[in-house]
Amino acid sequence: EVQLVESGGGLVQPGGSLRLSCAASGFTFSTYWMTWVRQAPGKGLEWVANIKQDGSEKYYVDSVKGRFTISRDNAKNLLYLQLNSLRAEDTAVYYCATELGTVPAGYWGQGTLVTVSS
């Protein structure tokens, strides 16, 4: 059974940093593109970033370019999202998901909440 478990969320001040992790199990992690999707409170889904199987390609939504970094550790079956220079508008539940070829997010984790506030 595919399992994705996010962690690392919490309350952070504007301008601060946070690193989110996603522990994957139940599938061969190293053979899948992986994705982060976020959802602000009461708002819709927003695709944030994705990363190729070997980490050689990474893509980001314009609003996080230069501030967020996606990475992975295939030996540990872990996906990361480093969040820097955080803004109030980054407040959201962050989901990790498997990208399945032509599907941006096939399997989803339960999400981790990031709150940016002073």
Identity of the amino acid at 100: L
Tell me which residue of 92, 82, 84, 81 sits closest to 34, measured CA to CA.
Answer: 81
Binding site for other proteins (CB under 8 A): 35, 37, 44-47, 50, 59-62, 95, 100, 102-106, 108-111
Residue 44 or 75: the one with the smaller Cβ distance to other proteins is: 44
Instruction: Quote the CA–CA distance of 80 and 69 in Å, as a whole number.
Output: 8
Instruction: Quote the CA–CA distance of 75 and 111 in Å, as a whole number.
Output: 22
Residue 29 or 60: the one with the smaller Cβ distance to other proteins is: 60
Residue 23 or 45: the one with the smaller Cβ distance to other proteins is: 45
CB of 72 to other proteins, least distance (A): 18
CB of 95 to other proteins, least distance (A): 6
Find the radius of gyration of the CA atoms of the chain.
13
User: CB count, 10 Å around CB of 58?
Assistant: 14
Residue 17 or 79: the one with the smaller Cβ distance to other proteins is: 79
CB of 25 to other proteins, least distance (A): 16
Residues, the chain, total?
Answer: 118
